[in-house]
Structure 1
């Protein structure tokens, strides 16, 4: 029973650690994108654990993984665009009004 509790606890701790990293370290865009991707992977892990314990099929979780991959690709394309226009991904070096 304790092992089952720990299996469900690890992704939840990972989600909260990713949220903490997302909130606390907002200096560079790459760090925020990595923390968002870490949250998505832990959400996927938690969803797979829940769906497999209920006995359902995993089609919805594959759809979620596809959307998370698209979110990562969109974030990286925005990062490349910002680095090309501003020179770096430091949030303090550019303002919203100049974009």
Structure 2
């Protein structure tokens, strides 16, 4: 049972990064994929450090703090983008306006 949980936690960052690469149509989906990467790293790093018997006291809190900062900056950028362009589609950012 413990080995299957370890394998799942080791695969979560890879699956989240694959989701980030494949879902790039809407800005909200990209932000959710980034949150998935952050949350999977919150699980992955302390578990990896506990296997190697390294001290892991503040790393999880630091990762959660960076994840909260990333989420707030991403949401503010999405609000700014939806007010400016009227949509959260990422391909609207690359349109040439002559």
Aligned match of 1:89 = 88
Tell me, yes or no, if the aligned pair for 1:30 and 1:79 is still in contact at 8 Å.
yes
TM-score, reference length from structure 1:
0.83
Distance 2:29 2:90 in 1: 11
* 1:44 counterpart = 2:42: yes
**Aligned Cα RMSD in Å?**
1.8
* 1:65 counterpart = 2:64: yes
SS in structure 1 of the partner of residue 71 of structure 2: helix
* Match for residue 9 of structure 1 among 7, 10, 25: 7
* C-alpha displacement of 1:95: 2.1
Distance 1:20 1:57 in 2: 27
Aligned length: 96
SS in structure 2 of the partner of residue 73 of structure 1: helix
More moved, 44-53 vs 83-92: 44-53
SS in structure 1 of the partner of residue 47 of structure 2: helix
Greater than 3 Å deviation, 4+ residue runs: none
